[in-house]
């Protein structure tokens, strides 16, 4: 058996979170019900839409995939970008991502272990696009992760998350009743599941309202923001607005010519 055949068989012997299309025309086995798996293809369609509409120079650009998991979106990014870095906290997910990436013959992706709730900014990791899919609503410290993503983004960001279903605004008292501050959104508090394959790194999660997410992205330097419209064939949470995809762009660097 050739090395490629051994790698492909190892992929087939594993049960995956994602359904990957394999070189021999088969697909990976997944334990996700078919009615839920549409979330992955809906996310992928939004990613392709944003690249086509907003990143015409993707082929000569770089991308970072936050919470890269088994590499599904890192591999999709690799089809469009010159280089891709996947950041993931779980060693078993990184090993799976490397396995499927090798089986598919993708050679422009690397994976690195990282806790995105604690990781400091590193200029060496900056990229043209930072992808933040399926992460924020699993985090006890989502603001740090968003600030980190924004700092690593040279120009573009794409965030997909569940959202708290109500946009809360108004004013709240500060030091005394005459001094008040605007409420720019809220986070709901929920239990998370750090021991599960898709959970965060702690057992608490803060889920943002949409207006809180948009406020933070503006505060972190994204001048252009677009909440992508849902399509009839999208996963049902997108159609109901319980889950959103937000594209953000920083102002282009000044022309020095």
Q: Is residue 185 domain-resident?
A: no
pLDDT for position 34: 85
pLDDT for position 119: 96
Q: Is residue 204 domain-resident?
A: no
d(CA 106, CA 16): 18
d(CA 55, CA 61): 9
pTM above 0.85, yes or no: yes
Q: Is residue 91 domain-resident?
A: yes
Q: Is residue 61 domain-resident?
A: yes
Closest by CA position to 248, among listed 219, 212, 227, 224: 224
d(CA 47, CA 41): 10
Q: How big is the chain by its Cα radius of gyration, in Å? A: 19
For the chain, percent of residues with pLDDT exceeding 90: 86
H or E element that contains 232? none
Phi (first) and psi of residue 176, to 5 degrees: -160, 170
End-to-end CA distance of the chain: 57
pLDDT for position 42: 96
The residue-averaged pLDDT of 131-146 equals 97
**Angle, to 10 degrees, between the axis of helix 91-103 and the axis of helix 3-13?**
130
d(CA 165, CA 102): 40
**Model confidence pLDDT, tens digit, residues 53-84:** 999 999 999 999 999 999 999 999 999 999 99
Q: What angle do CA 43, 44, 48 make, to 5 degrees?
A: 120
Alpha helices in 28-169 (DSSP H): 34-54, 72-78, 91-103, 142-152
pLDDT at 185 exceeding the cut of 80: yes
The residue-averaged pLDDT of 97-111 equals 97
Only one residue has tokens 């770089």, namely: 62
The number of domains in the chain is: 1
CATH at 83? 3.40.50.150
DSSP reduced 3-state for 161 = strand
Only one residue has tokens 């992706």, namely: 109
Range of the domain at 218: 3-134+148-161+209-249
């Amino acid at each position: 058996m050739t090395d490629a055949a051994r790698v492909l068989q190892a992929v087939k012997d594993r049960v995956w979170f994602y359904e990957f299309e394999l070189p021999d025309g088969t697909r990976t086995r997944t334990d996700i019900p078919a009615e839920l798996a549409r979330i992955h293809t809906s996310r992928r369609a939004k990613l392709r839409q944003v690249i086509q509409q907003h990143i015409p120079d993707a082929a000569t650009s770089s991308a970072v995939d936050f919470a890269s998991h088994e590499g599904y979106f890192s591999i999709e990014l690799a089809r469009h970008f010159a280089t891709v870095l996947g950041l993931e906290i779980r060693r078993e997910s990184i090993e799976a991502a490397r396995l499927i990436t090798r089986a598919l013959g993708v050679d422009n992706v690397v994976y690195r272990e990282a806790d995105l709730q604690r990781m400091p900014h590193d200029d060496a990791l900056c990229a043209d696009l930072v992808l933040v899919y399926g992460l924020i609503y699993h985090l006890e410290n989502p603001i740090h992760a968003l600030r980190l993503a924004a700092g690593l983004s040279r120009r573009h960001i794409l965030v997909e998350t569940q959202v708290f279903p109500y946009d809360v605004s108004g004013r709240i008292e500060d030091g005394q009743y005459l001094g008040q501050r605007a409420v720019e959104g809220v986070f709901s508090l929920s239990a998370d599941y750090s021991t599960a394959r898709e959970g965060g790194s702690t057992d608490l999660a803060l889920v943002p309202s949409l207006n809180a997410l948009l406020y933070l992205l503006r505060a972190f330097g994204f001048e252009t923001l677009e909440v992508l419209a849902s399509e009839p064939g999208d996963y049902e949470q997108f159609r109901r607005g319980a889950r959103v995809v937000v594209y953000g762009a920083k102002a282009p660097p000044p022309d020095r010519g």
